[in-house]
Amino acid sequence: MPAFIPDLPVILGFALAAFVLAVTPGPDMALFVSRTMNWGRSHGFATVLGAITGIGVHTMLVAFGISVLIVTAPAAFWVLKIVGALYLVWLAIQAIRDGGGILVTKAAGRQPSWGQSYLTGLGINLTNPKVALFFVTFLPQFVSADDPAAAAKLIFLGVEFVVVSIPVVIAIVLFAEWLTRTLKENAWVGKALNWSFAAVFMAFAATILLAEGRK
């Protein structure tokens, strides 16, 4: 077996952990659903692609040791969490204002490009403390520090995380598309969902900020 491939128990254990994180509701999931419901499947998948790119960035940072700076410098990680919280607040505002790019019910505002949807997915993934914490603190536990192939194994596990997550996010986007067709004639339901997504984003932002305030 090539040196960069972890042992089978490690692969299976990490796959379970990755699946649990993928199905756990969070800002990424809410964004996938809301983009799909507003702008269609292609924008949902563009947002997913942005998030997957973010996962690649997290993986490379961990694999090459840059993320150690975040762990050893609490102030840097604190800034990351605050930035993530503020980004969630911005998304909540976008979800309920006229013409926002997160709306479930389409407004008169300009439709974003696929590139903008991609960058939104990338931004929320990179500033999501749940994902950052998972990769910085949990991913390295699956390799030994004195393993000469540690960096390659971390990259392998990052790819595994993407492979495990892709079926989950595809199902989320397709479900959101079906839900949009089902609720197409019920504008009031769409408005209620807009506010629900805003509440999700604000709740995660408040959780982050309150946790930091108690420290």
CA atoms within 13 A on the CB side of 18: 23
Q: Tell me: pLDDT of 66 over 50.
A: yes
Return the pLDDT at 205.
73
For residues 85 and 205, is the Cβ–Cβ distance under 8 A? Answer: yes
> How far is it, in rounded angstroms, from Cα 4 to Cα 74?
31
Q: Assign residue 99 a region: left if phi > 0, alpha if psi is -120 to 50, beta otherwise? A: left
pLDDT digits (tens, 9 = 90+) for 28-39: 888 888 888 888
Taking the domains of the chain in order of start, what are their residue ranges? 8-213
**% of the chain surpassing 90 pLDDT:** 12
Q: Assign residue 73 a region: left if phi > 0, alpha if psi is -120 to 50, beta otherwise? A: beta
> How far is it, in rounded angstroms, from Cα 97 to Cα 206?
20
For residues 35 and 124, is the Cβ–Cβ distance under 8 A? Answer: no
Dump strand ranges (E) for the chain.
none
Return the pLDDT at 167.
92
Q: Assign residue 91 a region: left if phi > 0, alpha if psi is -120 to 50, beta otherwise? A: alpha
Return the pLDDT at 180.
73
For residues 80 and 128, is the Cβ–Cβ distance under 8 A? Answer: no
Return the pLDDT at 101.
44
Q: Tell me: pLDDT of 74 over 90.
A: no
Amino acid at 115: G
Classify the C-alpha dihedral 77-79-81-87 as positive or negative.
Answer: negative
Q: Give the model's confidence band at 189: pLDDT under 50 very low, under 70 low, under 90 confident, else very high.
A: low
Return the pLDDT at 102.
45
Q: Tell me: pLDDT of 50 over 50.
A: yes
Q: Tell me: pLDDT of 209 over 60.
A: yes
pLDDT digits (tens, 9 = 90+) for 94-135: 666 654 444 444 444 577 888 999 999 998 888 877 777 777
